[in-house]
């Protein structure tokens, strides 16, 4: 996996760099104390994982990540625990509290690698099996309109039916190819090809209006324009 680290504290970056050098499957290609230089880098370079501090001058790590049109896997590295819930809502792979040990660091990296491999495997498929009750239902990607989260359940809205599964929204999201599906809200993931209309605060799929939150709007526009 190719990764970068963004932190306004040089010592913190050195720790990440030192830890990363010991992880065989991880290549830390750049480190930045200036978040805006990191943004410039990401305009031309593609990475798989970002280690990101939250409280930085000029721009927070949260705003930094939300501004990215194409979002890599995310591991927060911070001295503050008060943004842990936000990290979860942003689908962060892990939330490392400074000072963190190498053992804790590689645990987060292993989680990222698992998701990375899972995403790459998904790209080669045209379907996924979704557990509903005691059954496994075969769902083709082409049939999916959108996903909606409700507590510990996710509804797969298909062209001809709906499939309800007891699964976390993050797990459901990771089952689908990132080039074809985009998260538009904390509770909704939509099939890009099925979007018929894009408005500032919602998208339309068939007769269904799905809310779009500002945190996910840039990623939506990126995939729409790319297509």
User: What is the arithmetic mean of pLDDT over 168-181?
Assistant: 87
Is pLDDT of 218 > 60?
yes
Q: 82 or 20: which carries more pLDDT confidence?
A: 20
pTM exceeds 0.95, yes or no: no
User: What is the arithmetic mean of pLDDT over 142-152?
Assistant: 94
ω into 99 cis (within 30 of 0): yes
What is the CATH architecture assignment of 2-122?
3-Layer(aba) Sandwich (3.40)
Going by pLDDT thresholds of 50, 70 and 90, the confidence category of residue 50 is very high
Q: Which element (helix H / strand E) includes 184?
A: strand 181-185
Please, are residues 161 and 155 in contact by the beta-carbon 8 Å criterion? no
Q: Looking at residue 131, what DSSP letter applies?
A: E
Angle at 171 between CA 168 and CA 173, to 5 degrees: 110
Is pLDDT of 189 > 70?
yes
In the chain, domain spans: 2-122, 127-226
Of all residues in the chain, the percent with pLDDT exceeding 90 is 61
80-138 per-position pLDDT tens digit: 777 555 555 567 899 999 999 999 999 999 999 988 887 777 666 789 999 998 899 99
Backbone angles phi, psi at 155, to 5 degrees: -100, 125
Is pLDDT of 61 > 60?
yes
Going by pLDDT thresholds of 50, 70 and 90, the confidence category of residue 225 is confident
Residues 192 and 14: their CA atoms lie apart, in Å, by 40
**201 vs 84, 110, 204, 211, CA distance in Å?**
26, 36, 10, 6
For the domain 127-226, what is the CATH code? 2.40.50.1020
Q: What is the pLDDT of the chain when averaged over all its residues?
A: 89
User: What is the arithmetic mean of pLDDT over 201-206?
Assistant: 94
Locate 196 and state its tokens: 């018929």
């Amino acid at each position: 996996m190719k990764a970068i680290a963004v932190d306004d504290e040089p010592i913190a970056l050195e720790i990440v760099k030192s830890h990363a050098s010991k992880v065989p499957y991880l290549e830390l290609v750049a480190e930045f104390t200036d978040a805006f230089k990191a943004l410039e880098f990401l305009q031309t370079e593609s990475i798989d994982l970002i280690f990101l501090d939250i409280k930085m001058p000029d721009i927070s790590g949260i705003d930094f990540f939300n501004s990215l049109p194409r979002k890599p896997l995310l591991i927060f590295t911070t001295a503050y625990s008060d943004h842990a819930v936000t990290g979860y809502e942003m689908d962060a792979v892990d939330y490392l509290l400074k000072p963190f040990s190498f053992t804790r660091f590689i645990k987060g990296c292993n989680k990222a690698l698992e998701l990375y491999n899972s995403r790459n495997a998904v790209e080669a498929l045209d379907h996924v099996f979704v557990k509903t009750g005691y059954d496994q239902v075969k769902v083709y990607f082409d049939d999916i309109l959108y996903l909606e989260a409700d507590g510990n359940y996710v509804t797969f809205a298909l062209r001809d039916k709906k499939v309800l599964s007891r699964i976390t929204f993050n797990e459901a999201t990771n089952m689908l190819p990132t080039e074809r599906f985009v998260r538009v809200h904390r509770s909704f993931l939509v099939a890009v090809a099925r979007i018929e209309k894009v408005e500032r605060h919602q998208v339309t799929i068939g007769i269904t209006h799905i809310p779009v939150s500002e945190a996910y709007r840039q990623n939506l526009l990126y995939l729409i324009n790319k297509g």
